[in-house]
Structure 1
Amino acid sequence: MTLTEQHGLFFEGELPPMRSLRTAWLLALFLGIAGADRFYLRQPVSGTLKLLTLGGLGIWWIIDLFRITNEYAADGASMPLAGTNVLRRGLRVASAVLVAALAGVLICVSAAPLAGTVTAIKALLDPVPPPPTKEWVTVAESSSTKAPASLVTLTGRVHIEYKFTGPAVAYLQPVKGPAIAVLSLGKAGGAGAIGVTVEPGTYTLIVSATGTAWTLTAQEFRIPG
């Protein structure tokens, strides 16, 4: 007579074998989206639902990782899972680490497009002005009706356009030092353009002409301002 029979305990059939805690957890980790852990634990109905919902869109998958490590976790036949408490604690820590890592990855992946969207919105609301570009800037003008003009050059390379109806002489007088001749025309005068290279600085544009209705314009290719 067996021990159970001696105490008056009788079973109609043998108890089903205990399911492994480690195997159930590994199935929940790698195939939990398909409900493999639930099928292994003799829970076909919830396993099918988990399969059809892809692990409850991931939520059910995470819950089962921790549920299996519970001290009172059991399979569909109400049999406890075979495994030590040390193993349960270790798997519980591993579940927490995996979920934290997954959350970090999701945050990083979602933060990149969000940051790009915020940057685009800020650019629309507060557009950055385009960088300044070089252009031809008039640095001095003189004519038959204007007095000698002040010329300030930043690059030292000046483009001069002129039109005279008679003899003319034009020169640049620096603040210190001798004057620099830039143009000399005979009796017939003329119209045209010349390039002059001088030291960057401030000059006085002085023109001497006997004709009428003459003009002289000095320009420089640089950033305005």
Structure 2
Amino acid sequence: MTPQRPPSTGSTESEAWPSAPTFGTSGASRVSHGRPPPGGRYLQRPVDRPAKSFPVAWLLSLILGLYGADRFYLGRWKSGLVKLLTFGGFFIWYLVDLILLTLGQLNDSSGRRIRPTAPFVWPSRIVSGAVVAGFLGVFALSATAEDAAPPAPDVAAVEQSSLEDAAQEAPQPAAGPADVPTTELASTPEVETPAEGTALAVLAGLEQKDRGEKAGYDRDTFGWREDLDRNGCDTRNDVLRRDLHTITLKAGTQGCVVLRGILESPYSGDTVDFDRANSTIDIDHVVSLSDAWQTGASTWDEQRRHEFANDPLNLLAVESSLNRQKGDGDAATWLPPKKDYRCEYVSRQVAVKDKYDLWVKPAEAEAIERVLSDCEGFLAITGENPWPVTGDGDVVATESEPTKEPAPTQEAEPAPTKAPEPAPAPAPAPAKDPVPATKDPAPVKKDPAPAPAPAPAPVKKDPPPAPKQDDSSGSAYYKNCDAVRAAGAAPIHRGDPGYAKHLDRDGDGVGCE
């Protein structure tokens, strides 16, 4: 039985029966070309995107999580940008994301969970736990340190309040409390006080003044090399026996005079051989005599000047070249080339000036403080640094000093003498008129000719005087500065072999400059 169709309304059969396929087309074709669904859009099936990799996301969160790299990778750009600008949310956001990602509780931009995969589950949890524990430990230690430190603002407030209370208790002038300079007291910087017993503390106690006048200075007034301790030796040989080793003493001097030895120079660190016959070693006054004169010694009496010049605390055996290089300079103009010795050098200067109440110049004090700042806590020198008794020291031998044979002097040949000239013959007597001879004339007696003068004895010239010997080195005496320069000894300093006053006209201790 054929079903009845609904009445026609002027439409085609295909329109009246939408379920019926059009002739020549399939049902699928009809459905695809039918009317659009409500809203005018066709429904599309979502396309599946590949899931994010857990190892990549975890490594980014661990290493670059402070910069939001893990959230950028998961497609969460806005929160990643905020995390970048806040430096991982001040570490808190960084730690939270690391924990959530390790536990598989973090989603990507599509809402899918990023879950740990098989080989990375426990390694990621162990590493993440260690990182989180480390951060928490650092936070805890910093918080404990801040709690233990005394609050500086509170101390300042207490000091300020005590100053204000003292100002209120004191009688105030009519101008009122506004004149109290409380702000100036609060802004005064604190001055660090050097530790007691250090060289810096002794330096801080010295008076600072400008250099005084050098007028009237004469090195001879200090009595350098005097035997003040009455041990039979001059000061130079006392210092040599103290500072040299492998010493050979001169026989017959009661163990006093040093012939040879070896010096380990404190100024340069070099090893210097000493030979009395040709000395290259000087005795240096650590605080020079000229510097002492200009910083207070000009008012001393003779006894105190002699004590200063021969004080073992102020004397060191050094190379002659370095002693001349130093001159009368202080720490502001000269320091030993061996840097390891500079702290002891300036400390010894401070000790000497403190012992004799000498002042320091401002530039000198600044230079000493700068040196001592590199050896903080260097203790002040308090010992006298005495020399050994006569005959003591690192003595290995006692010998007689070899005597130098004087150079042979040629006697001057006598000047040739001229043969005596014969006496002139007497002039003939004038002729007389002939007298008739009555008798034979008496014979005339002639005076004998004078004997020739004897030849003068040859003049024997005295040999030239032997050169003067310096009792400290045995070097030759120089007649003038030309002789000093010819010997290569210019400039020559007071105390050097061959020094004499006629070579140092200005009396500053340095001749033939």
Bigger relative contact order, structure 1 or 2 (CA pairs below 8 A, ≥6 apart): 1
What TM-score results when the alignment is normalised by the length of structure 1?
0.42
Q: Which has the higher strand share?
A: 1
What TM-score results when the alignment is normalised by the length of structure 2?
0.20
